[in-house]
Structure 1
Amino acid sequence: MKAVKVLISSILAVLLLIVIIPKTAALSFNDGGHPKALARAIAMEMSDEQALAQTFMLGWVGAEPSPLILNWIKDRNIGGVKIFGWNTGDTRRLAETVGNLQENALDTRFNIPLLVATDQEGGLVRHVKGTTSETPGNMAIGASGRPMDAYWSGFYIGKELSILGINMNFAPAVDLYTNRDSTLIGPRSFGTDPVQAGILGAAFVRGLATQGVIATAKHYPGHGDTDLDSHGVLPRIDASFELLWERELIPYRLLAKEKLPAVMTGHLSFPKTQAGDTPASLSSWFIRDILKEKIGYQGLIITDDLMMNGATNFAGSLSRAAKQALMAGNDIIMLSKTPSLNDQVWTYLLAAMKDEADFRARVRDAAQRILETKLEYLRGDKKIAYIPDLKKVDEGLPDPEGAAFFLDLAARSATIVKGRETIFPLDDKKAGKVLLAGQYQDFFNAGKKAYPNAVSYWYSSWSSPDLLYYARNADTIIFCLSDQGGLNVLRSLKGMEKKIVVFSVLSPVYLDEASWADGAVAVYSYAPESFIAGFSAMLGRIGAAGQLPFPLNEPLKAVTEN
């Protein structure tokens, strides 16, 4: 009997050893739980390849997604895609593309959706074109000076992006307009006041957030004090850290306290700081020591396009720039073009993960941080739909309420720079024979409505020999000025015994050289609403209470540093 019991016990023991224990259910992005806990659990289950892929945000060329970008999504489950202007001519097709990309991403192991990002700052920078709203932009918000204008700008821009399935916006730009020669920043800036830029930037961020869009302030630590473009070269900015702390970094200090979800780092060199010649985007001092530790910022950090010469030329190659960017503290590396699946940028980083424990830990930390942000913003009742509703796209763009708001903003921000008491209001009778000289069709459209009998003259920046002929037959010349070429043409009118009125578009910096004109009105974008607002200000139909967001006839560089 005892032997039988021993035999039965042995058999049971063997059965317990060979029994198949059911596996726990696979982890999914859609599981419940706190974002931090679920992100940690998913990140721990990820292979090195899957973790590294989450740090990649890639663009593609053309309206349709290429087979290569689809392979990166299906085979690697990259973290995000970036939509550029060359992808957005057909708004409905763009929405279909976003849905297609997300469907492929959701069909991967952990069902992780993509960050779908674009640059929709408003005003000068509007990558998603098609039927989206043209807006007055940041400098118009700075001219109005009202945080609610920043909030509602973010709100309506975010509303349109959300309809298209775009869940991340590389905006607001909080660069200060410190260098007047900067054509890259110019009207993209709120102005020169760092506190105002921070306040307006925070309001814009909140507006985007109401629509479920992840805001990304840029270009840390500040692109406004250079006339160079980091697409082509690495700009060097001769500002000390003490100056940056009390100027360019103030918006980031304010936004960090407002729990800003993301920051984009700029390819900018500050040789007078501890970073030396290293671009801020590749500098652990700027990112870890200053942004994270000193400022206390806790959100995601994303590079500007690493294919810019400002990054790759310094690092020596795209692969080295990508590694240095991640090690410095960036969580996402953004590439404007799609590399091949086994491009060196991928194989080099993956090999580094295998060989270098500290780099592997940094990549896995970045992946977890990306997952936490996605879990916070891309799921739940308020999330943006992964697959856009094409009916909403057809019916909701441009947003009619947004159009009304942006017209009001254009009117509030319109600025009479000169001639309020002497020239304006300039009605049709007072103006006499009017010549409209410009380079924008919307300028002529609005101008002809304001002055129905006006003559239109489309000038070229390099030569306008006929302008003087038409000007001699006019009593008032309304000249649209938006760049240095236009300023050169405008100078040909100096000394004529005519009323010369300058209609400034985009940055009003060129008005410094046109102080001899009889009158000047400034608007801050070439959206149709801005031209309507400018002519309404001339006619006295609106108060034109906007204030220039930076001083004229005062060299800004002279006050940057002792």
Structure 2
Amino acid sequence: MHRIPLAIPALVAALVLLVSLPAQSRHYTARNIEPRDQESPAVTGGRFWDLPPGELQGLRWPASSEAIEHHVEHLLASMSDEERVAQILMLTWSGEEPNEEFLRWITERNLGGVKIFGWNAENLVTLTNTLTAMQRKSIATSNGIPLFTATDQEGGWVRHIRGETLITPGNMAIGASGLPYDAMMSSRYIGQELRALGVNMNFAPTVDVYINPEAHVIGPRAFSNDASQTGLLGLAFFRGHEQSGVIATAKHFPGHGNATGDSHGVLPVLKDSFETLWDRDLLPFRMLIREGIPAILGGHLSFPEISGAETPASLSRYFNITLLRETLGFEGIVITDDMYMGGALVYAERQGWTFAELIKQAILAGNDSVMLSRTPAFDGLIWRTLLEAYREEPEFRRRVDESVRRTLRVKIAYLIPEWRVPLFPDASIVQEFVRIPEARTFFLDQAGRSITMIRDTDLPHPHQQGERVLLAGRGATFFAVGREFFPGADELRFQGSNFYTSLAEDRHRWAAAMDRYDTVIFLLSDPNTLEILQSARPQNAKVIVYSVLTPIYLGALPWVENAIAVYGWARESFEAGFSVIQGHYEPRGSLPLLLNYP
């Protein structure tokens, strides 16, 4: 186990690094990973690259000068109707490599962006080659506007690009350590991997304030239940991405942390007042907007007490234009969450809209980029509806043109300078930048800094010869690491995979096994395992609850006398947790939320 660094040096470093950095030192300075013999897009590309050389010096977001605005207007004037409409779409493809129809969106319409989901990203070399091929096709169009290549690589629980990429302790672990340094360095290491792959936009940081225990979809993705701490750590995460050249995207505006229900499947309705929203959920966004966050992703969340209707914020002109633009002064781009999510589809069904009409309404509501997790037909209803509206409805045309201008400004600021995420990364050296040893060491130490002692009646608990130990829970890594610390321990692996409810068979197996042991180490990870633990209490065995991800479920277990909170799911986090149980070091993490013991 690595020694856990003292908090004071890390905090001092954080205070230094959070100061606004000069433009020339804000971005990643490691060697360029584009092939040396690759021609510059400025030479081979279209009009997008014709920015006057003097404007490149110190170019950064927000990009605002008379020359840049002239360049944006010149570009817009040169774009066809089809190119303008396509520029505000963010599409994904099926499988690891796109088919020819998908590529036509790029070659014939100069598509605005692509979204990388898990099904696109298991093989890192294939993904890198795919993104390179897409950018080549985008640069080869008449205007040569490069793609946003976006994904969800939050750290911790949400990691759409898997393969050999880092599995970090996640945001709640950062909240437990409370160190902006941890947030910034986590972001920097994540950004380094994305940079190597050619991913130039990340839908992170998640700055939802975790208030409602029923907000399961947020859980460990949140930093804290404290708005100020969430804002500070979110800002540090933003700084780390800036140093890597990756476009950071704050989410889920205006705040998912008090929602009951998952917007992937339903439309959550929140009864918060404007005053509560302003002081709590909006505070992190206000801090990030003030510091220049370039993109914000909106949530499919309804706030009827504020807007007067159950319209999702993602489809609300009030939230996207009046509040975000006019009140908060946001100048970057607003991106929808996936429009195939239940929160959007439920509302569209209530309004009697087709899916194509839903997309149109999202644009009219002030979104600059519309994300779709399924590739629309090249000349299908969605495309025909949007193009017809652009040509025949002045208000829709005005809204699209506004969005294209904002998109171009962000792309000019992030995708033209030499420090940009490479458009054509070298897939042969990707492995040099993935799970590098220094990153793994950092995340082991960071996991250790975050561990929180909840109840310690009989902790620490060193391994004892002849002791009968049972490891109970779900997750192969928990068992693998647990047996290293407690050799000879037996295993009770629960079979049910449903997040919310357990299997009767698992409850029966737990009841039959628990009192045959001296010590039970129980992995509490979700409502499923909570239900199992609540179904029967051991009478003879000593129980140590090993909470992982969010510790919120410990609030329902006041009878548990020994419990630690660990926030990550990777080997490093499990190693740190078992080290604490055995007393190898004293945990110093603080709970980033309230458990609400009865």
- Structures share fold, TM-score greater than 0.5: yes
> Pairwise mapping of residues 432-511 of structure 1 onto structure 2 (< 5 A)?
432-460=467-495, 461-462=502-503, 463-464=505-506, 465-511=508-554
CA contact (8 A) 2:46 2:140 kept: no
> Pairwise mapping of residues 513-528 of structure 1 onto structure 2 (< 5 A)?
513-528=556-571
- If you compute each CA radius of gyration, which structure gives the higher value, 1 or 2? 1
SS in 2 for 1:436: strand
Residue 365 of structure 2 aligns with an amino acid whose one-letter code is A
The yes-or-no answer on 1:407 pairing with 2:407 is no
Residue 498 of structure 1 aligns with an amino acid whose one-letter code is A
Equivalent residue in structure 2 for 1:127, among 152, 160, 165: 160
> Pairwise mapping of residues 264-303 of structure 1 onto structure 2 (< 5 A)?
264-274=297-307, 276-303=309-336
| Cα-to-partner distance string for 1:245-286 (whole Å, 9 max, x where unaligned) | 111111111111110010001111111012521110111111
| In structure 1, distance between residues paired with 2:262 and 2:535 | 30
| In structure 2, distance between residues paired with 1:400 and 1:66 | 36
Q: Which segments of 5 or more consecutive residues in structure 1 lack a partner in the other structure? A: 1-24, 556-562
CA, structure 1 residues 481+322, in 2 after alignment: closer, same or farther (shift >3 Å)? same
Per the alignment, residue 88 of structure 1 pairs with 121
Offset of residue 188 of structure 1: 0.6
Per the alignment, residue 372 of structure 2 pairs with 335
| In structure 1, distance between residues paired with 2:595 and 2:465 | 28
| Cα-to-partner distance string for 1:304-325 (whole Å, 9 max, x where unaligned) | 1112232233232222222222
Moved more, 133-142 or 384-393: 384-393
Per the alignment, residue 306 of structure 1 pairs with 339
| Cα-to-partner distance string for 1:354-386 (whole Å, 9 max, x where unaligned) | 111121121112111111110100112101111
| Cα-to-partner distance string for 1:432-470 (whole Å, 9 max, x where unaligned) | 321111211110111111111322221233123333444
CA contact (8 A) 1:494 1:516 kept: no
CA contact (8 A) 2:556 2:597 kept: no
Residue 448 of structure 1 aligns with an amino acid whose one-letter code is R
CA contact (8 A) 2:515 2:538 kept: no
| In structure 1, distance between residues paired with 2:405 and 2:182 | 35
Offset of residue 430 of structure 1: 9.1
Per the alignment, residue 592 of structure 2 pairs with 549
Moved more, 225-234 or 154-163: 225-234
Q: Which segments of 5 or more consecutive residues in structure 2 lack a partner in the other structure? A: 1-43, 56-67, 496-501
CA contact (8 A) 1:275 1:283 kept: no
CA contact (8 A) 2:150 2:202 kept: yes
CA contact (8 A) 2:106 2:134 kept: yes
Moved more, 147-156 or 523-532: 523-532
Per the alignment, residue 18 of structure 1 pairs with none
Residue 494 of structure 2 aligns with an amino acid whose one-letter code is Y
Per the alignment, residue 28 of structure 1 pairs with 47
Number of equivalenced pairs:
529
Equivalent residue in structure 2 for 1:380, among 417, 420, 424: 417
The yes-or-no answer on 1:49 pairing with 2:82 is yes
The yes-or-no answer on 1:418 pairing with 2:455 is yes
Moved more, 462-471 or 85-94: 462-471
Per the alignment, residue 429 of structure 1 pairs with 464
SS in 2 for 1:133: coil
The yes-or-no answer on 1:393 pairing with 2:412 is no
Residue 57 of structure 1 aligns with an amino acid whose one-letter code is M
Residue 476 of structure 1 aligns with an amino acid whose one-letter code is T
CA, structure 1 residues 199+29, in 2 after alignment: closer, same or farther (shift >3 Å)? same
CA contact (8 A) 2:205 2:248 kept: yes
CA, structure 1 residues 348+466, in 2 after alignment: closer, same or farther (shift >3 Å)? closer
Offset of residue 218 of structure 1: 0.6
- Percent identity (aligned): 46
| In structure 2, distance between residues paired with 1:370 and 1:143 | 36
Per the alignment, residue 78 of structure 1 pairs with 111
Per the alignment, residue 140 of structure 2 pairs with 107
| Cα-to-partner distance string for 1:13-71 (whole Å, 9 max, x where unaligned) | xxxxxxxxxxxx99622222344332221012112211111101001121111222211
Residue 75 of structure 2 aligns with an amino acid whose one-letter code is I
| In structure 1, distance between residues paired with 2:575 and 2:477 | 9
Per the alignment, residue 255 of structure 1 pairs with 288
CA contact (8 A) 1:68 1:338 kept: no
Residue 131 of structure 1 aligns with an amino acid whose one-letter code is E
SS in 2 for 1:435: strand
Equivalent residue in structure 2 for 1:349, among 368, 381, 386: 386
SS in 2 for 1:428: coil
